[in-house]
Amino acid sequence: MREITIAHSPDSDDAFMFYALVNNKINSGNLKFINILSDIETLNRKALDGVYDVTAISFHAYAYVFDRYVLMPCGASMGLGYGPIVVAKEEFDPADLKKFTVGVPGTLTSAFFILKIFEPEVKYKVIQFDKIIDAVLNGEVDAGLLIHEGQLTYSNSGLVKIIDFGEWWYKQTALPLPLGGNAIKRELGGQLIREISKYVYESIKYSIENRNEALKYALKFARGMDDNLADKFIGMYVNELTLDYGEEGRKAVQLFLDMGFEKGLIPKRVKVEFAEY
């Protein structure tokens, strides 16, 4: 048996995707997958050092590791007209964002990347993603950039939405907003990359086809969400583009990174590459 480390965030949508793989619901031949759970900013940092064979990664962070990792053709989280949002205690014009300090979940996240594309001069403070709502409420920051379940639960705390970047991006580009994908180490070689990618695809497909079973497992990772809300969240980020980026999804990732380069947010222009099955 060959062990393959596969790392993703402890979120209900990622748990849903990898359910079959980590619970032996599909036959993975002579490969044994070692599951590692960590928040996305930590995974982004680990990817810089090439720690894991397969890792969930923000597309922003991918710009720094594309020489070491290639994107899998499946496993993407894309916002179809929705995405990370900025919230505050009181409404203000998104055009005024640079006047405020925004709590952000990490500087390698795609959420931070799209915030900087929208307003390059924004002032920010890095705060753990699940502490951002509290930081806004207690006045530590003026506004918060929310990812994961916070996008659906912020109003429970009395906060208001300033801007939804998935909505804004769609108006600009008519494309889904690329948030995260799965990357696999190039050094594993073509045959193994194809084999692992196929198993990840089969895992996602299994969960989609056995939704109730996979959902039951994923609900263990649904922080602060009831079953209905968690079901909605998973449906938002495990969609038709998760099984396959398609032409539209691939175009969106390339445009996202091109736009970031043109704004001076990443040091090199990135030619996005995808593994094949």
SS3 state at 75: coil
The response to whether 203 counts as a known ligand-binding position is no
33 to 1, 51, 261: CA distances (angstroms): 10, 15, 35
The response to whether 110 counts as a known ligand-binding position is yes
Q: Report the 10 Å Cβ neighbour count for 122.
A: 19
Active site residue 8: no
Give dist(CA 204, CA 136) in Å, integer: 35
| 60 Cβ contact list (under 8 Å, min separation 6) | 44, 108, 109, 110, 112, 113, 260, 265, 266
- Backbone φ, ψ for residue 149 (5° rounding): -65, -20
Question: 85 near 165, Cβ under 8 Å?
Answer: yes
> Which pair of tokens denotes residue 227?
């079953």
Nearest to 277, CA basis, from 175, 190, 205 = 190
Give dist(CA 254, CA 231) in Å, integer: 30
| 214 Cβ contact list (under 8 Å, min separation 6) | 16, 19, 20, 206, 207, 208
Give dist(CA 231, CA 243) in Å, integer: 18
> Which position among 46, 60, 148, 250 bears the catalytic label?
148
Of all helices (H) and strands (E), which one includes residue 228? helix 227-237
Taking CA 225 as the corner, what is the angle to CA 203 and CA 212, rounded to the nearest 5 degrees? 35
Annotated binding-site residues read 110-111
Q: Which residues are annotated as a binding site for substrate?
A: 110-111
Name the residues annotated as catalytic: 148
